[in-house]
Amino acid sequence: MDADLVVSAVAMAGVPALAERLAPNWPEGLPLLSCSKGIDPLGLCSASQLWERQLPSTPMGALSGPNLAAELAKGLPAASVIASRDQELARRLQRELKAPHLRLYTNQDPLGTEIAGALKNVMAIAAGVSDGLGLGANAKASLLCRGLAETGLVLKALGGLPSTLYGLAGLGDLLATANSPLSRNYRFGLLLAEGASEAEARHQIQATVEGPDTARAALKLANREGWSLPICRQVVALLEGNLTAPATVRALMERDPRPEDLQW
């Protein structure tokens, strides 16, 4: 393979088979940059972790951040982060992939970066439901704040860094994805609020929506580890048709009182 870098931007569901197919012929030392966002429902791991199982010695990084494709295609300004334990690789990609309208940062927390990027899709669905029901700015701000805390719990438990949660891959990506009609997961939530089923909403979006599978995978992790992830839990209940959109809101509002805690 005559290449300096491979960039994988396939849907999360396609990563395991692609990694297995490419691994036998992967050139020694050829780096991989993963852009997939999600949690594998079987391995309960990130995209980079799936790649690493097939390519354990390959230099690897993850790209994440507020990257709404339609805005990037128009040349609108944006910033993202390249996360890698190999800082030499991260700095090289930072130099070589920068563009006049795209500013790149680096960090050393690929797992935390990917987990934050995955869970923000679940929170974007919840934000779409909130807006679709007309619940107002107070409700949405509260939802996103608690969604950040929920993401932080998972990120910390899996070994991520606090700085990642409040960086471009965490708070930055959450703000963009949960507030823009360009976000597929946000539009998916709007459709659920209108009464569409998961299948109907997916059909109307006509593109990959990672949030539903991520919510289910996060809930599997929560049940295994004993974590409290109320937003993920209610999103899954809505997806499964066990509750209506208004009922999921009531379930969140009627939870027992507790101290505010960002889990750090």
Q: In whole angstroms, how far apart are CA 187 and each of 113, 128, 141, 179, 241?
A: 23, 6, 18, 10, 18
State both tokens at 98: 């920068």
State both tokens at 234: 């209610």
If one counts every other C-beta atom within 10 angstroms of the C-beta of residue 46, the result is: 27
User: So which residues are the catalytic ones?
Assistant: 120
The number of helix segments (H) and strand segments (E) in the chain equals 13, 5
User: In this structure, is residue 170 part of a structural domain?
Assistant: yes
Is the model's pLDDT at 202 over the cut of 70?
A: yes
pLDDT value of position 186: 98
Per the structure, how many domains does the chain have? Answer: 1
pLDDT-derived band of residue 262, with 50, 70 and 90 as boundaries? low
Q: For residue range 52-71, what is the model confidence (pLDDT) as tens digits?
A: 999 999 999 999 999 999 99
Q: φ, ψ for residue 176 (rounded to 5)? A: -70, -50
If one counts every other C-beta atom within 10 angstroms of the C-beta of residue 56, the result is: 9
Residues 218, 122 contacting (CB under 8 angstroms):
yes
User: In this structure, is residue 261 part of a structural domain?
Assistant: no
pLDDT value of position 55: 97
pLDDT-derived band of residue 121, with 50, 70 and 90 as boundaries? very high
CA gap 264, 262 in Å, rounded: 6
User: In this structure, is residue 18 part of a structural domain?
Assistant: no
CA gap 85, 89 in Å, rounded: 9
User: In this structure, is residue 190 part of a structural domain?
Assistant: yes
Give the range of the structural domain holding residue 143, as residue numbers without chain letter.
Answer: 111-253
Residues 62, 36 contacting (CB under 8 angstroms):
no
User: In this structure, is residue 78 part of a structural domain?
Assistant: no
pLDDT value of position 261: 67
Q: For residue range 146-185, what is the model confidence (pLDDT) as tens digits?
A: 999 999 999 999 999 989 999 999 999 999 999 999 999 9
User: In this structure, is residue 20 part of a structural domain?
Assistant: no
Which CATH number is 169's domain given? Answer: 1.10.1040.10
User: In this structure, is residue 217 part of a structural domain?
Assistant: yes
Q: What is the pTM of this model?
A: 0.95
